[in-house]
């Protein structure tokens, strides 16, 4: 915490120095949104380059002055929380002054900018993000406050902890981990008792695009148990995008890639080639929208696709067919096809990429 306080003091000291010299204070931020500042490394995924382009938040420019003020406001809140060892969620910060902040996304963006500017992970700034992910299966751990959590498959899952760094005593006999894109599929597998039927496993869902805590938990489980991790996604550009976030990270959070990505993640399904292989009827598939076409084209250009020839092939099949499929299409074969046939066969015979 002394490191965090010192980093904030340095920023404020620079502001005071500028004022003393009768200059307008400026905050300098790394440019988080551009691919130009990103490099791809097999072992890490997408990470920010050391000398990346920056942008200035000036206090004397009408366009950036409000952001400058909000950054100082949130820095002062972080400083107090670190001093008093208290925590707040991003939501708490927004609701402390909704008129001032205007919207939750403004707060989220500024917190990421501050984390990147100070080069300090968000958890160390005493800011917790609200969790939306679930975890189930062969796993137990102790939360920071001493609460013992057992995820062993009942019909209900456990919410991903809001302070993943603080969990300890992780115990599991799982043979693999399965990341499921959607909540509905995750619940279906829970109902079918999938975690125990085949061999003990851990199942996680970020319920769509994963939040930070879900990504941190996947990474922590990988660091702890080093078991294979598979993803089960819809066969559409959005599903591929979500899988890439778990595996390689995202552009906007590339400055934290080292804590968040798991490059060894495998694509288990639903593969575009599976649709042909299983003779899925064309009438249960969904035609591409213009948005799907654009997203797929942008994914195909990304640096990590070049080093994944098998993935490249699958994306080409998807692009040629201009059709997408949700995991639920497997119910057109039989109601429990996913847990009874599809997943056991894939896991047994190595049907992943």
Catalytic residue among 79, 94, 95, 342: 95
Given CA atoms 217, 219, 222, 223 in this order, what sign does their dihedral have?
negative
Judge if the upstream peptide bond of residue 310 is cis by omega within 30 degrees of 0: no
Straight-line distance from the first to the last Cα atom of the chain, in angstroms, rounded to the nearest whole number: 42
Alpha-carbon span 170 to 242, nearest angstrom: 26
CB 258 within 8 A of CB 215: no
Tell me how crowded residue 89 is: count the other CB atoms within 10 A of its CB.
14
Tokens of 7: 């980093």
- What is the C-alpha to C-alpha distance for residues 90 and 72, in angstroms, rounded to an integer? 16
In terms of C-beta density within 10 A (0-12 exposed, 13-18 middle, 19 or more buried), how is residue 87 classed? middle
- 95 carries an active-site annotation: yes
Which residues have a catalytic role annotated? 95
């Amino acid at each position: 915490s002394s490191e965090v306080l010192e980093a904030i003091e340095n920023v404020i000291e620079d502001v005071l120095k500028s004022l003393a010299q009768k200059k307008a204070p400026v905050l300098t931020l790394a440019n988080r949104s551009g691919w130009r500042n990103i490099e791809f490394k097999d072992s890490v995924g997408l990470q920010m380059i050391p000398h990346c382009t920056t942008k200035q938040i000036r206090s004397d420019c009408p366009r950036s002055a409000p952001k400058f003020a909000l950054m100082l406001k949130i820095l002062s809140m972080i400083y107090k929380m670190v001093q008093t060892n208290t925590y707040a969620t991003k939501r708490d910060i927004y609701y402390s002054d909704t008129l001032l902040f205007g919207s939750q996304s403004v707060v989220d963006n500024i917190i990421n900018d501050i984390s990147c500017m100070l080069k300090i992970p968000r958890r160390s700034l005493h800011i917790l993000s609200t969790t939306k992910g679930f975890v189930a299966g062969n796993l137990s751990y102790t939360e920071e406050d001493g609460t013992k959590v057992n995820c062993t498959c009942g019909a209900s899952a456990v919410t991903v902890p809001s302070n993943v760094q603080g969990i300890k005593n992780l115990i599991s006999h799982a043979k693999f981990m399965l990341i499921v894109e959607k909540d509905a599929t995750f619940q279906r597998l829970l109902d079918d008792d999938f975690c125990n039927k085949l061999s003990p496993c851990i199942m996680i869902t970020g319920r769509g695009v994963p939040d930070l805590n879900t990504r941190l938990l996947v990474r922590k489980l990988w660091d702890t148990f080093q078991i294979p991790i598979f993803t089960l996604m819809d066969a559409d550009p959005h599903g591929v995008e979500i899988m890439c976030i778990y595996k390689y990270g995202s552009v906007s959070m590339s400055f934290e890639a080292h804590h968040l990505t798991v490059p060894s993640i495998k694509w288990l399904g639903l593969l575009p080639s599976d649709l042909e292989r299983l003779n899925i009827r064309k009438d249960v598939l969904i035609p591409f929208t213009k948005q799907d076409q654009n997203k797929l084209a942008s994914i195909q250009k990304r640096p990590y696709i070049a080093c994944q020839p098998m993935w490249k092939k699958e994306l080409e099949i998807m692009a040629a067919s201009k059709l997408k499929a949700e995991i639920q299409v497997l119910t057109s074969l039989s109601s429990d096809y996913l847990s009874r046939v599809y997943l056991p066969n894939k896991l047994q015979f190595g049907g992943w990429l």
